[in-house]
Structure 1
Amino acid sequence: MKLVRRHSALFALIAAGLLWGLTVPLSKLALEWLPGGWLTVVRFALAAPLLAVVARKDLRRAVTPQILFAGAVGYGIVILLQNAGIHATSVSHAALIVGAVPALVALIAAATGKGSTGPAAWVGFALALTGVGIVAGGGGGGSTLGGDALVFASVTLSATFVVVQPRLLRGQNPMAVTAVQMVAGALIAIPNAALEGIPAAPATLTPVVALVALILAGTLLPFALFAYGQSRVSPELAGAFLNLEPLVGAAAGALAFGDPFGPVQLLGGAVIIAGIALSTAPPRRTVTPVTDRRHAGRTHRVRRAAPRDARQHPHTEGPRSGDYVSSSTPPHSSHS
C-alpha cells in the first residue's frame, strides 16, 4: 500500500513539473492583456473555487492563520514577482532561472534542519546557482538583469514555500489547503492590481486563451497535483521534480517566442542541469562487512539457569530457569 501511494505521489509530481513548464510562456502571452497584479488575482480567484468544490468537506479545517499566510506569500507574492520578472525578461531566461528551485529547496532544508546534504550535493547546488548566473549574465533578446533578479527572488520564496508546506499539509486534505492558499494569494495581490488600474479589453483572443490555459493547465492541475505529491514525500524529492519546469519552459521560449538560445545560454543550461543532477542524486551507501553486520545485528542474550544449590546461596536472586536477559533496551523503558 505504501509503495502504491509513493508511486502515485511521484506520478503527480512529474505531471505537475511538466504542466508548470507551460506557466512561463502562458503568462508571457497573458501579460499582453493583463498587468501582473491583475493576472495574479484572476488566475487564483478563478482556479480556487473550482478546487474548493472538490474539497468542500475539508475547507473549514484548512482555514488556519499559518496556511493563509503561507498561501499569501507562496502563491500571491511569488507569482507577483514572477509576473513582473517575466514581463521584463525573456521566456527562456525566466524558465532556466526557475531551474535553481531544487538546489534552493535542498539548501533551505539543510539550513533549517529539515534535510541532510552530502558533499556531492553541495557541489551540485553551487553549480546550479552558477548556471543561473551565467544565463542571467548572457543577455539575449528581451532579457534584462532586473527581470532576471525578480524571477530569482520569486524562485527563492517559492523554494522556501516548498520546504514549509509539508508541515502545513500534515493531517489536511491537500486540495483543500491548495484552495485556501489560492484565495490568500488572490487577496494579497488585490492592492497591486488596484494600483495598475482597470485593464482594457484584449486586442485579440490570444491572451484570453492563454489565460484560460494558465488557470486550468498552469494553476489548477499542477498546484493540486504538487500538493498531493508533496504531502507524501520529502521536500528535497518533491523539489527535484521542478527540474522539469525549466526544460519545458526554455524549449517553449525558443520554439514559440523565438528567444535566442546561443552558446552562453546553452552553457548556463548545461551547468544548471549538471548541478541539479549532482544535488538530487541519491547518496552512496556504505556497505558494512558481513562479519560486522552480523555482530551489529546480534542481540546478546544470556541464559541464566537458577543454581541447583540455590538454597545454599540465599543471597543469589537470579531469574528463573529459562529466563532471558537482553542487552537491548526493554520495550517499556522510560528512555526515548
Structure 2
Amino acid sequence: MQLVRRHSALFALVAAGLLWGLTVPLSKLALDWLPGGWLTVVRFAAAAPLLALVSRRDLRRAFTPKILFAGAVGYGAVVMLQNAGIHATSVSHAALIIGAVPALVALISAATGKGSAGKLAWFGFALALAGVGIVAGGGGGGATLGGDGLMLASSALSATFVVVQSQLLKGQNPIAMTAVQMFAGALAGIPNAIVEGVPAAPATLAPVAALLALIVAGTLLPFALFAWGQSKVKPQLAGAFLNLEPLVGAAAGALAFGDPFGPVQLLGGLVILSGIALSTAPPRKRPEPARVVSRHEGRTHRTRPVRSSAPRDASHLPHQEWPRRASYVSSSTPPHSH
C-alpha cells in the first residue's frame, strides 16, 4: 500500500511539473493584455472557487494565519515577480532560472534541518540543473539582466515556499489548503493591480485564450496535484519534479516564440530526465551489521552442580536427596564428582 501511495504521489508530481511547463509561454501571451498584478489576481481568483467547492468540508480548518501568509507570499508574491521577470526577459532564460528551484529546495531543506539528501540525489540535482542549462543555452530574444534578476528572486521565494509548505500540509486537506492559499495570493496581487490601473480590452482573442488555459492547465490542475503529491513525500523529492517545467517551457517557447530547439536542447532534455531519475530514486537500505558470534556460541554446554550450603560430607544423606541439594548452571567443563 505504501508503494502504491508513493507511485501515485510521483505521478501527481510529474503531471504538475509537465503542466507548469506551460506557465511561462502562456503567461508571456497573457501579459500582452493584462499587466503582472492583474494576471496574478485573475489567475488565482478564478481557480480558487473551483477548488474550494471540491474541498468545502475542510476549508474552515485550512483558514489559519500561517497558511494565508504562506499563500500570499508563495502564490501572490512569487507569481507577481515571475510575471514581471517573464515580461522583461526571454522564455528560455525564464525557464533556465526556474530550473534552479529544485537545487534551492534541497539546499534550504538541508540548511534548516527539514530534510537531507544522499550523494546520489545531490548528483541528480546537479545533473538536472546542468540539463536545464543545456536546454536554455541557446538563449532567446529580449533577455535582460533585470528580468533575469526578478526570475531569480521569484525562484528563491518559490523554493522557500516548497520547504515551508511540507510542514503546513500536515493534517490538512491539500486541495482545501491550495484553495485558501490561492485566495490569499489573489488578495496579495490587488494592491499591485490597483497601481497598474484598469487594463484595456484585448486586441485579439489570443491573450484571452492563453489566460483561460493558464487558469486551468497552468494553475488549477498543477497547484492541486503538486500539493497532494507533496503531502506524501519529502520536500526535496517533490522539488525535483520542478525540473520538468523548464524542459516543457523551452519546448513550448521554441514552438510559440521561435526560440532555438534542436539536438542540443534534446540532449539537455535527456540530461534533465536522468537527473530527476537519480534525485528521486528511493535511498538504498543499509545492510544490517554482521552479528558477532562468540566462540562459545553454538557449542553444547554441559552442566555442573554448584556447591550447595550443605556440609561437604554428605555421605550420611540418602542418595535420592543429592540432586535436591545442588543446582545446575551452564559450563564448558565436566561436572565435579562428589
TM-score by length of 2: 0.79
Name 1:186's counterpart in structure 2. Answer: 186
Q: Secondary structure at the match of 1:204?
A: coil
Name 1:151's counterpart in structure 2. Answer: 151
Q: Secondary structure at the match of 2:194?
A: helix
Counterpart contact for 1:72–1:184, Cα < 8 Å: yes
Name 1:226's counterpart in structure 2. Answer: 226
Per-residue Cα deviation, 1:261-291 (whole angstroms, up to 9, x for no partner): 58998998888777766655666665567xx
Q: Which runs of 4+ in 1 moved over 4 A?
A: 119-139, 261-289, 307-313
Q: Give the 3 Å change call, closer, same or farther, for CA 81–190 of structure 1 in structure 2.
A: same
CA distance in 2, matches of 1:165, 1:41: 21
Q: Secondary structure at the match of 1:172?
A: coil
Moved more, 253-262 or 128-137: 128-137
CA distance in 1, matches of 2:216, 2:222: 9
Counterpart contact for 1:102–1:276, Cα < 8 Å: no
Name 1:202's counterpart in structure 2. Answer: 202
Counterpart contact for 1:85–1:149, Cα < 8 Å: yes
Give the drift of 1:164.
0.8
Name 1:142's counterpart in structure 2. Answer: 142
Give the drift of 1:140.
3.3
Q: Secondary structure at the match of 2:99?
A: helix
CA distance in 1, matches of 2:172, 2:56: 12
CA distance in 1, matches of 2:125, 2:2: 30
Give the drift of 1:93.
1.4
AA matched with 1:143: A
Name 1:84's counterpart in structure 2. Answer: 84
Per-residue Cα deviation, 1:2-23 (whole angstroms, up to 9, x for no partner): 2222221111111111100001
Counterpart contact for 1:178–1:223, Cα < 8 Å: yes
**Identity %, equivalent residues:** 79
Q: Please say if 1:256 is aligned against 2:259.
A: no
RMSD: 3.1
Per-residue Cα deviation, 1:209-232 (whole angstroms, up to 9, x for no partner): 100010011000000000000000
Q: Secondary structure at the match of 2:14?
A: helix
Counterpart contact for 1:93–1:135, Cα < 8 Å: no
Q: Give the 3 Å change call, closer, same or farther, for CA 13–78 of structure 1 in structure 2.
A: same
Q: Secondary structure at the match of 1:201?
A: coil
Per-residue Cα deviation, 1:122-165 (whole angstroms, up to 9, x for no partner): 56656766787899997531111111111111111111111111
Counterpart contact for 1:76–1:188, Cα < 8 Å: yes
CA distance in 2, matches of 1:154, 1:271: 24
Structure 2 unaligned regions, length at least 5: 298-303, 311-326, 328-338
Give the drift of 1:205.
0.4
Counterpart contact for 1:132–1:268, Cα < 8 Å: yes
AA matched with 2:46: L
Name 2:68's counterpart in structure 1. Answer: 68
Larger Rg belongs to? 2
CA distance in 1, matches of 2:260, 2:143: 10
CA distance in 2, matches of 1:280, 1:6: 11
Q: Give the 3 Å change call, closer, same or farther, for CA 45–68 of structure 1 in structure 2.
A: same
CA distance in 2, matches of 1:273, 1:11: 14
Moved more, 280-289 or 153-162: 280-289
Q: Please say if 1:15 is aligned against 2:15.
A: yes
Give the drift of 1:82.
0.3
Structure 1 unaligned regions, length at least 5: 301-306, 314-320, 322-336
